[in-house]
Amino acid sequence: MSGDKEKMKKKRDLENTGFTCANCGREVLPLLNGSYRNHCPYCFYSLHIDLETPGDRRATCQGLMKPIDWVYQSKKGYQIVFECTRCGKQIRNRAALDDPRQPDDLVKLAQITNR
């Protein structure tokens, strides 16, 4: 592995960490598939910590991101729509339905809706 690729992998590994949910207080494990989990699999809340790309951890807002809806796209699958309770920014993140340790519950996901 080249030096640049190795640095990028280490950076991704450092940013793909577990966390304690700021909404419900439960422990959330990192995903095993190389992606970033930005939300709690129990209450679906998140924190506004990413600015431009998943895992960049550059946002200064740090507001609680409330799950307000979901969408389905053929290429990305189910995505949770979040709205920041502090600044109002809306983002989407893929649901982690296939995570072997803490999968998102599709039934609970379907209950999050503004429809």
Position 3 scores a pLDDT of 55
Q: How far apart are CA 97 and CA 106, in angstroms?
A: 7
Position 12 scores a pLDDT of 45
Q: How far apart are CA 70 and CA 72, in angstroms?
A: 7
Query: Model confidence over 68-102: pLDDT tens digits?
Result: 999 999 999 999 999 999 999 999 999 999 999 99
On the CB side of 94, how many CA atoms lie within 13 Å of its CA? 19
Position 28 scores a pLDDT of 96
Position 105 scores a pLDDT of 92
Position 10 scores a pLDDT of 46
Mean pLDDT of 44-53: 87
pLDDT of 57 > 80? The answer is no
Best CA proximity match to 14, nearest among 30, 26, 38: 30
DSSP state of 29: P
So where are the chain's domains? 3-111
State residue 102 phi and psi, 5-degree precision: -140, 70
Mean pLDDT of 56-64: 86
Mean pLDDT of 24-36: 90
Position 87 scores a pLDDT of 94
